Structure 1
């Protein structure tokens, strides 16, 4: 699946290399290889949304949007309706409330276990998304916007495995070319470039001032509020100590900063959100009846789960019971 069409810093199209690596694996396993491009769909449904959110002063997550709109929508429909697949399998470290062991224990020489999949799809209870065995590599954060229909027909073969064990399997299978690949980090299509340089290729330069949250003093100048996120270290010249972004005013272009990682302005205990997305489609009965619910949440991948108290209203309010820090680096 190709979603982005550009050259990396060395003038190489990384998606072509990924395609070649996948093709080699398919040859080794003697299974068909198919390639499909969603460059146009990604641009219109993910990337343009990304730019609009940055202009509003927010920091969206393109991986969540890609899974929602591309992988588990366009690609999922291509697999099921185009190729006639029973289900789609992905390499995410996650699992579902459906038991997949009986599927994987089938011999590859046996007839296709159609009854197994048919039984899965006819289950009337909503399918739930659960964490996999490797909690450190847990990727349910990126799957949080999946639809119920897609989750019902998705398999996660790595659900009970750790990353180290998967590497061991790959090594024993002779997939050295895959093992040598660097693990993808951050926004995939940016590569090794600085985020600021990348985003300024698409958004107009809008300089503004770094302003001290303590006394209103102008500390320096930035190239645009959309190049910065809450909690990020603000690289201000001439300062002995580190300063961090605590707030943004997109009407004036001012970015407010505070000194040290423990400044009170960096912390929040309440978050106001718009409507939640429920993978099971219906919200929990507790929330409907009492307009309140206790749960756990995270807003950054691999961040520890925090207990929260949710109140339902025109907007949903999440109050962190432990104290939330927006500090991200």
Structure 2
């Protein structure tokens, strides 16, 4: 299925070398169970020998797993070496156990992505220590080694600072789209490129259809998850073919409630843990506070879009997103942000966002990403999905190029 995302922003030239590695102040990769110092230059990193991986352990009752739960874990292939991204949450933990149950040799990786000693941040509020504790507990159950990968500089340079600059321009890029493309399946893949893994896996709700070994030139296809509520293909929509061909998502064939059920059957230490929400580097800090810390505040006015009536003041247009309803604190609502004048620092709102006469018949999409890497032959009608689509979560549209 072809997909166009409505909040995509073209990348500036300065990120053309996005996936290159740079010298770090801290070790890039450390073994969790036996911390060691690793020379931090990229040249030395790639000269490391492949990490030892676990041999599948089948004595915990793998035979009781319904084969349909393993259908996205490539059980039909020879035992593979798989790098599994774990976060300490239930989804990535179940993904790890399913791959292990399918007979593959797994190494788990936890990404430590936010900490700068010379920069005031809220690392103390981010529960990374709990995350790492749970991840280690899950890995210990089946003797899977766990590695900690430091990608803090990449995360700051390629995600956080980019978001700040875009907010200054009045745009609101999606942090998850950026993190998946640039960090989880970008800088991380670069960091383990010398370790000879067959695939990289995570707990995302999506499916990837890979070409057969006889058709390696054919593109890998990103497909919707079985669980349409949890589906995360939107957040993976900017991945390249080079990235897709190296990925597998074990949860793409499973409903969320079944994942919870599997977590209990595996007796995972985090089986009752709630799903994480928001961006980890913020922890308990609101995103608006983070924006204020980096961009500051500048008082402007709020006007009603239909008649230009003055409704109140705001702290800066960068605190608002088109379609936003919460946090406006205006009487007589509900009010919705419908436009931002970034030059004059004016925010326009409306109470008639969903009225019949405001029905949207046209919208503009930028930076189209063809997941196949090629321009499609049939583009008369496409389906789109956005995290802030104003019509429905999915809608058909015609495209004029």
TM range (shorter): 0.7 to 0.9
Aligned to 2:242: 149
Aligned to 1:298: 385
Aligned to 1:307: 396
User: In structure 2, how many angstroms separate the alpha carbons of the residues matched to 1:238 and 1:154?
Assistant: 46
User: In structure 2, how many angstroms separate the alpha carbons of the residues matched to 1:169 and 1:153?
Assistant: 25
Q: Larger RCO: Structure 1 or Structure 2 (Cα < 8 Å, ≥ 6 residues apart)?
A: 2
Aligned to 1:33: 146
- Which runs of at least 4 in structure 1 moved beyond 6 Å after TM superposition? none
User: Where does structure 2 lack aligned partners over 5 or more consecutive residues?
Assistant: 1-110, 116-120
* Structure 1 counterpart of 2:346, from 247, 251, 254: 254
- The answer as to 2:210 corresponding to 1:98 is yes
Distance 1:204 1:297, change over 3 A: same
Aligned to 2:80: none
- The answer as to 2:150 corresponding to 1:4 is no
Aligned to 1:105: none
TM-score normalised by structure 1 residue count: 0.79
Q: What SS does structure 1 have at the residue aligned with 2:219?
A: coil
Say if 1:68 and 1:145, in contact at 8 Å, map to a contact too.
Answer: yes
User: In structure 2, how many angstroms separate the alpha carbons of the residues matched to 1:3 and 1:166?
Assistant: 26
User: In structure 2, how many angstroms separate the alpha carbons of the residues matched to 1:206 and 1:265?
Assistant: 34
Say if 1:141 and 1:301, in contact at 8 Å, map to a contact too.
Answer: no
Say if 1:46 and 1:65, in contact at 8 Å, map to a contact too.
Answer: yes
Aligned to 2:282: 190
User: In structure 2, how many angstroms separate the alpha carbons of the residues matched to 1:26 and 1:226?
Assistant: 42
How far the C-alpha of 1:12 sits from its partner, in A, is 4.1
User: In structure 2, how many angstroms separate the alpha carbons of the residues matched to 1:205 and 1:28?
Assistant: 49
Say if 1:89 and 1:156, in contact at 8 Å, map to a contact too.
Answer: yes
* Structure 1 counterpart of 2:221, from 105, 108, 128: 128
Aligned to 1:62: 175
How far the C-alpha of 1:25 sits from its partner, in A, is 1.0
Q: What SS does structure 1 have at the residue aligned with 2:378?
A: helix
How far the C-alpha of 1:181 sits from its partner, in A, is 2.4
* Structure 2 counterpart of 1:45, from 153, 158, 171: 158
User: In structure 1, how many angstroms separate the alpha carbons of the residues matched to 2:355 and 2:251?
Assistant: 41
How far the C-alpha of 1:219 sits from its partner, in A, is 0.6
User: Where does structure 1 lack aligned partners over 5 or more consecutive residues?
Assistant: 100-118, 288-292, 313-329
Aligned to 2:44: none
User: In structure 2, how many angstroms separate the alpha carbons of the residues matched to 1:50 and 1:13?
Assistant: 19
How far the C-alpha of 1:166 sits from its partner, in A, is 1.2
Q: What SS does structure 1 have at the residue aligned with 2:343?
A: coil
* Structure 2 counterpart of 1:240, from 323, 332, 352: 332
Say if 1:258 and 1:265, in contact at 8 Å, map to a contact too.
Answer: no
Distance 1:188 1:205, change over 3 A: same
How far the C-alpha of 1:301 sits from its partner, in A, is 7.1
61-70 or 151-160, which moves further after superposition? 151-160
How far the C-alpha of 1:262 sits from its partner, in A, is 2.7
User: In structure 2, how many angstroms separate the alpha carbons of the residues matched to 1:24 and 1:234?
Assistant: 38
How far the C-alpha of 1:286 sits from its partner, in A, is 3.3
- The answer as to 2:153 corresponding to 1:75 is no
The Cα offsets for residues 31-63 of structure 1, whole Å up to 9 and x where unpaired, read as 111110111101111111111211111111010
Aligned to 1:174: 267
Task: Number of aligned residue pairs: give it.
Answer: 284
266-275 or 15-24, which moves further after superposition? 266-275
Distance 1:172 1:125, change over 3 A: same
